[in-house]
């Protein structure tokens, strides 16, 4: 088999898996499986970053597309314009073959015509970007209209464009040396991290390093657990923040790390392996079973829209809707309400998200404080994504 044949077989496999994955209804949290092949992961991330533009270009050129055909065309666009590992003619041939075997001759002819016309109009990524100049601004920003409007209203058009541009880049990877919690770790970009992992496997001992975005350390830092305390992390899985809390507790005290999703517990257990004081289990934080006034500190890293981590989770664009945001806000309020009575007098509650939406962050905290004068706001910090870290929010409330 020649290298070209191998590439094309790999691409064909990835194409089949890609269309299957893309055809699943968008569901928050249901992204790419962790064990997906690197090729599929690369396809998935690249497609999600540019999909809004691809969709718009296809809508301008095709009357109505059935989802499978749309995903197939978008696969070809991702391969031809973004990944470029296969010659364009090979991509078109693969797409046409796929269309023929799944939809018959007519569909194959249609896919062939659309792709060849598009490639004549825009032979490369630069030419494709030029075609997008006529698109609405939200499309040029590769943002869902509703999210673009929200950000424009709260921060202005210029801010939104700049952030949208930043979000097109892959996320940086940060390796934190375990135990080094007081200072934010120096970030590594993706290439440096790969090099580090490849060249220093002996030095990269998972017991010693933890791959974690710097912004995720904000909430544990605000909680500031002290050895001997009873601390609960009630939306804990997969456990990035629990690990940071465990390190601060230094195996003295109690760490109750629970999550409502049983399927996410294995990762949590894996991450907390070796932490003798961890009590791991399933629990709904809106209706916790822990005794009242039993906690020195609690972290509520609640489910959210994830708009601060779009670089790491580009499919957030696909799942964002105002309706879903409102549903999340209700869940966040229920979790806050359910958990507040567990905090001891003098204890603290840290509320955090990886969202940059005020509605999920400071507005939630203010609404909670209105109803709970027994709590006082001590600190609140909103991080926006930068070239070195993601977006995140955390607020520390003290029970009087």
Q: Which residues are catalytic?
A: 354
Tell me whether residue 36 or residue 211 sits nearer to ligand SAM (CB atom). Answer: 211
Q: Which two tokens stand for residue 341?
A: 């009575």
Q: Which stretch binds ligand SAM (CB under 6 A): 118-126, 182-190, 284-292, 370-378?
A: 284-292
Q: Which stretch binds ligand SAM (CB under 6 A): 41-49, 78-86, 256-264, 358-366?
A: 256-264
249 binds ligand SAM (CB under 6 A): no
Tell me whether residue 22 or residue 285 sits nearer to ligand SAM (CB atom). Answer: 285
Residues between 260 and 279 with contacts to ligand SAM, criterion CB under 6 A: 260-261, 264
How far, CA to CA in Å, does 118 sit from each of 9, 62, 185, 302, 379? 24, 11, 45, 43, 53
Q: Which stretch binds ligand SAM (CB under 6 A): 134-142, 167-175, 230-238, 368-376?
A: 230-238
Q: What is the DSSP string of 188-231?
A: B-HHHHHHHHHH-TTT--TTTEEE--GGGGHHHHHH---TT-EE
Q: Which DSSP category does 276 fall into? A: T
Tell me whether residue 259 or residue 315 sits nearer to ligand SAM (CB atom). Answer: 259
What stretch of H or E contains 298?
A: strand 295-301
CB atoms inside a 10 Å sphere around CB 364: 23
Nearest approach, Cβ of 158 to ligand SAM (angstroms)?
Answer: 30
Residues between 313 and 332 with contacts to ligand SAM, criterion CB under 6 A: 331
Closest residue by Cα to residue 69 from 112, 14, 129: 112
Nearest approach, Cβ of 61 to ligand SAM (angstroms)?
Answer: 39
With CB under 6 A as the contact rule, the residue among 53, 225, 239, 347 that binds ligand SAM is 239
Q: Which stretch binds ligand SAM (CB under 6 A): 95-103, 191-199, 283-291, 383-391?
A: 283-291
308 binds ligand SAM (CB under 6 A): no
340 binds ligand SAM (CB under 6 A): no
241 binds ligand SAM (CB under 6 A): yes
Nearest approach, Cβ of 367 to ligand SAM (angstroms)?
Answer: 18
Nearest approach, Cβ of 261 to ligand SAM (angstroms)?
Answer: 4
Q: Which stretch binds ligand SAM (CB under 6 A): 135-143, 146-154, 239-247, 366-374?
A: 239-247
With CB under 6 A as the contact rule, the residue among 147, 285, 340, 350 that binds ligand SAM is 285
237 binds ligand SAM (CB under 6 A): yes
CB atoms inside a 10 Å sphere around CB 237: 24
Residue span 143-162 as binding mask against ligand SAM, x where in contact by CB under 6 A, dash where not: --------------------
Helix (H, G, I), strand (E, B) or coil at 375: strand
360 binds ligand SAM (CB under 6 A): no
Buried b (16+ CB within 10 A) or exposed e, 148-178: bebbbeeeeeeebbebbeebeeebbbbbbeb
Q: What is the DSSP string of 140-206?
A: HTT--HHHHHHHHHHH-HHHHHHHHHHTTSPPPB-EEETT--SSPPPPB-HHHHHHHHHH-TTT--T
Q: Which two tokens stand for residue 209?
A: 């390093």
Closest residue by Cα to residue 170 from 188, 197, 145, 146: 188
333 binds ligand SAM (CB under 6 A): no
**Chain centre distance of CA 248:** 26
Q: Which two tokens stand for residue 167?
A: 């979000």
Tell me whether residue 42 or residue 260 sits nearer to ligand SAM (CB atom). Answer: 260
220 binds ligand SAM (CB under 6 A): no
CA pair distance 67, 73, nearest whole angstrom: 10
The residues of the shown chain that bind ligand SAM, judged by CB under 6 A, are 216, 234-241, 259-261, 264, 284-286, 301, 303, 331, 335
């Amino acid at each position: 088999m020649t290298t070209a044949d191998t590439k094309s077989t790999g691409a064909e496999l990835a194409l089949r898996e890609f269309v299957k994955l893309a055809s699943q209804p968008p569901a928050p949290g249901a992204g790419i499986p962790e064990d997906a092949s690197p090729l599929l992961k690369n396809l998935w991330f690249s497609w999600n970053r540019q999909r809004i533009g691809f969709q718009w270009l296809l809508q301008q050129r095709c009357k109505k597309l059935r989802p499978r055909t749309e995903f197939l065309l978008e696969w070809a666009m991702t391969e031809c314009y973004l990944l470029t590992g296969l010659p364009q003619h090979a991509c078109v041939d693969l797409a046409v073959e796929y269309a023929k075997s799944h939809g018959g001759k007519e569909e194959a002819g249609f896919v062939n015509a659309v792709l060849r016309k598009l490639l004549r109009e825009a032979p490369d990524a630069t030419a494709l970007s030029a075609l997008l100049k006529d698109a609405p601004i939200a499309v040029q920003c590769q943002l869902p209209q509703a999210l673009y409007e929200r950000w424009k209203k709260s921060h202005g058009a210029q801010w939104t464009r700049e952030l949208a541009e930043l979000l097109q880049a892959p996320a940086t990877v940060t390796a934190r040396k375990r135990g080094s919690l007081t200072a934010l770790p120096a970030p590594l970009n993706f290439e440096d991290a790969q090099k580090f992992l490849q060249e220093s496997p002996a030095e990269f001992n998972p017991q010693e390093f933890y791959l974690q975005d710097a912004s995720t350390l904000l909430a544990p830092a605000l909680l500031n657990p002290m050895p001997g305390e009873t601390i609960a992390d009630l939306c804990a899985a997969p456990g990035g923040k629990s690990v940071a809390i465990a390190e601060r507790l230094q195996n003295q005290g109690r760490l109750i790390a629970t999550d409502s999703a049983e399927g996410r517990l294995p990762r949590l257990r894996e991450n907390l392996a070796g932490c003798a004081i961890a009590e791991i289990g399933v629990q709904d934080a809106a209706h916790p079973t822990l005794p009242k006034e039993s906690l020195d500190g609690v972290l509520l890293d609640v489910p959210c829209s994830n708009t601060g981590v779009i670089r790491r989770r580009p499919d957030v664009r696909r799942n964002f809707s105002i309706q879903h945001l409102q549903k999340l806000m209700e869940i966040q309020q229920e979790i806050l309400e359910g958990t507040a009575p567990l905090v001891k007098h003098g204890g603290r509650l840290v509320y955090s998200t990886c969202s940059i939406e005020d509605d999920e962050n400071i507005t939630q905290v203010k609404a909670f404080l209105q109803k709970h004068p027994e709590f006082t706001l001590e600190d609140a910090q909103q991080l926006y994504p930068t070239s070195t870290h993601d977006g995140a929010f955390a607020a520390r409330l003290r029970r009087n």
